[in-house]
Amino acid sequence: MTRTDPVRTLVVDDNRAHRAAMVMTLQKLGHTTCEAHTVAAARLALEQQPFDVVITDMELPRAEGEAAHLECGLDVIRQARILDPDAAVLAITGFASVENAVQAMQAGAVDYINKGSSLHEIRVRLERALEGRKLARENRRLVSDNLMLRNQVQARYGPSQIVGQSTKMRAVFDRIVLAAATNHTVLVRGESGTGKELVARAIHYNSTRRDRPLFTINCTSLSSSLIESELFGHKHGSFTGTTEDRRGIFEEAHSSTLFLDEIGDMPLETQPKLLRAIELKEYKRIGENTARTSDVRIVAATNQNLLAAVDEGRFREDLFARLDVVTVVLPPLRERKEDIPILVAHFLDKLYSEGGKPQVTEAALAKLQEHHWPRNVRELENVLTQASLFARDGVLDAPHITLNAPSGTQKGGDWFDHYVHGLSLRESRDKLERDLVRKALRDASGSMTHAAERLGMQRPNLYRKMRELGMDPDTTP
């Protein structure tokens, strides 16, 4: 036995000589022993203290003076397992038979020993029984830990973490529940900052795949060659600089969920390979001819009009059809302003998790509800984070709130007319985006990193966006 503490063992046998011989054998093996000669005595011993091992004769008297009966040994086995489901219980008898062994195992015994077995045989069976007990307890602990972790994950990533009580958000919650109950591909549509990744997490962690982590890749941040390697992996030497084989996300994410953010920016040449991986669950590493299989569920997200992208030849129609099985559409914040008060409370709870949350004045709420929120919920969180730095005496008031874009509504208002007057929709959008980028750079004193943070995007994506808008990242003031 490779244990630090002595093994506590209960020996139940009405034959004093047999019991003494077993106790002597166990003590040679380092066990601390306790003895009982009836079912009642065994039950009392089991109730008084825990045992690592219980060895019981199959034939025991029910009480002093009663005749032996086969069921009495089974009674001890059942009682031991009731008090400790992981107990290492062994049945021992001088009348071995298949029927007796089956009855003992059905009652909960983990092994069956004949009287007269050698010391070596008893040692082997005890070690096996104790190893089984250890594994059973470890498994029980892992199950308990997994359940606790699952509850924590569901609390963190469940639909309840996507804040909103408006009619449009209740419809979103219904779609999340519907999508989570299936293995279908999901397309999450919505403007930047509306919470598309939160939806993906809620779907995954409330699905049957929740025991595996959610895998994520941003299709905007990688070139066509890199994104293919990221998705499917590559064989060493398949292109310059590769010195070893690499597993792709499709291989890593087997039996899990892959969140493809900004799917509309996936390179056109990669799209057929993604389509094959979704349709046939097959893919090939770069540089290999052998197809591999992987069961991956896809949740994709976009802030683009994919149907327009299909019409323009930038996105494959067959891939769009495969992605658009279950659709979740996130409304922009300007279309659910009734949710702003509870969103404010939610973000302030996060900011002041240790207490001291300020009271938000009516003037502050009015200022927030008048804003257009071009960057949606992400912008609201950033504004509140900044405002909390200036809140004093437990009050967050309107002067504490700095808005990065003019207030107004989507239709009407001087600021909106300024952008659309005499311009096409695309030209108006590009002009607005260029002005927002310039303002973010000015406010960040020219720092691309800080400007990207203000715009709620990653630094490489800001560079890409600026090039799309015809702006030079090195010279734009």
Give the burial class of 314: count Cβ atoms within 10 A of its Cβ; 0-12 exposed, 13-18 middle, 19 or more buried. Answer: middle
What confidence score (pLDDT) does residue 469 get? 82
Residue 150, pLDDT > 60, answer: no
Residue 146, pLDDT > 70, answer: no
Separation of alpha carbons 397 and 387, rounded Å: 9
User: What is the pLDDT averaged over residues 201-211?
Assistant: 91
What confidence score (pLDDT) does residue 384 get? 93
Angle at 431 (CA atoms; ends 426, 435), nearest 5 degrees: 150
Separation of alpha carbons 207 and 47, rounded Å: 42
Per-domain residue ranges of the chain: 7-140, 159-331, 335-402, 411-477
Q: Are 159-331 and 335-402 in the same CATH fold?
A: no
What confidence score (pLDDT) does residue 409 get? 41
Q: For the stretch 429-467, what's the b/e string if a residue is b when 16 or more beta carbons lie within 10 angstroms of its beta carbon?
A: ebebbbebbeebbeebeeebeebbbbbbbebebbebbbe
What confidence score (pLDDT) does residue 415 get? 42
What confidence score (pLDDT) does residue 4 get? 57
What confidence score (pLDDT) does residue 64 get? 56
Question: Mind listing the pLDDT tens digit for each residue in 280-307?
Answer: 999 999 888 899 999 999 999 999 999 9
Give the burial class of 91: count Cβ atoms within 10 A of its Cβ; 0-12 exposed, 13-18 middle, 19 or more buried. Answer: buried
398, 434 contact by CB (below 8 A): no
User: What is the pLDDT averaged over residues 113-127?
Assistant: 80
Separation of alpha carbons 205 and 156, rounded Å: 9
Confidence category of residue 380, pLDDT binned at 50, 70, 90 = very high
What confidence score (pLDDT) does residue 200 get? 95
User: What is the pLDDT averaged over residues 80-105?
Assistant: 77
Confidence category of residue 223, pLDDT binned at 50, 70, 90 = confident
Cα-to-chain-centroid distance, residue 117:
51
Residue 411, pLDDT > 70, answer: no
**Mean pLDDT of all residues belonging to the chain:** 83
Separation of alpha carbons 128 and 142, rounded Å: 21
User: What is the pLDDT averaged over residues 164-186?
Assistant: 91
- Tokens standing for 146? 């997994």
Confidence category of residue 253, pLDDT binned at 50, 70, 90 = very high
Question: Mind listing the pLDDT tens digit for each residue in 438-465?
Answer: 888 888 878 888 888 778 777 888 888 8
Separation of alpha carbons 276 and 261, rounded Å: 19
Q: Which residue has the tokens 């079912």?
A: 39
What confidence score (pLDDT) does residue 412 get? 39
What confidence score (pLDDT) does residue 148 get? 57
Residue 400, pLDDT > 70, answer: yes
Residue 350, pLDDT > 80, answer: yes
Higher pLDDT, 328 or 136: 328
115, 18 contact by CB (below 8 A): yes
Identify the CA nearest to 323 among candidates 294, 298, 305. Answer: 298
Question: Mind listing the pLDDT tens digit for each residue in 54-64?
Answer: 998 887 766 55
State the pTM of this model.
Answer: 0.56
User: What is the pLDDT averaged over residues 396-422?
Assistant: 59
Q: Yes or no: is domain 411-477 CATH 1.10.10.60?
A: yes
Question: Mind listing the pLDDT tens digit for each residue in 15-69?
Answer: 888 888 888 888 888 899 999 988 888 889 988 888 989 998 887 766 555 555 5
In percent, the amount of the chain with pLDDT more than 90 equals 37
Higher pLDDT, 474 or 79: 79
The secondary structure of the chain, three-state, reads CCCCCCEEEEEECCCHHHHHHHHHHHHHCCEEEEEECCHHHHHHHHHHCCCCEEEEECCEECCCCCCEECHHHHHHHHHHHHHCCCCEEEEEECCCCHHHHHHHHHHCCCEEEECCCCHHHHHHHHHHHHHHHHHHHHHHHHHHHHHHHHHHHHHHHCHHHCCCCCHHHHHHHHHHHHHHCCCCCEEEECCCCCCHHHHHHHHHHCCCCCCCCEEEEECCCCCHHHHHHHHHEECCCCCCCCCCCEECHHHHCCCCEEEEECHHHCCCCCHHHHHHHHHHCEECCECCCCCEECCCEEEEEECCCHHHHHHCCCCCHHHHHHHCCEEEECCCHHHCHHHHHHHHHHHHHHHCCCCCCCEECHHHHHHHHHECCCCHHHHHHHHHHHHHHHCECCEECHHHCCCCCCECCCCCCHHHHHHHCCCCHHHHHHHHHHHHHHHHHHHCCCCHHHHHHHCCCCHHHHHHHHHHCCCCCCCCC
Question: Which residues neighbour 275 within 8 Å (Cβ) at sequence distance 6 or greater?
Answer: 316, 318, 319, 322
Separation of alpha carbons 460 and 222, rounded Å: 9
Q: Which CATH number fits domain 335-402: 1.10.8.60, 3.30.70.260, 3.40.50.10190, 3.30.465.10?
A: 1.10.8.60
Higher pLDDT, 426 or 233: 233
Domain 159-331: give its CATH superfamily.
Answer: P-loop containing nucleotide triphosphate hydrolases (3.40.50.300)
Separation of alpha carbons 52 and 378, rounded Å: 56
Separation of alpha carbons 257 and 185, rounded Å: 10
What confidence score (pLDDT) does residue 418 get? 44
What CATH class has 7-140? alpha beta
Q: Which residue has the tokens 């985006």?
A: 433
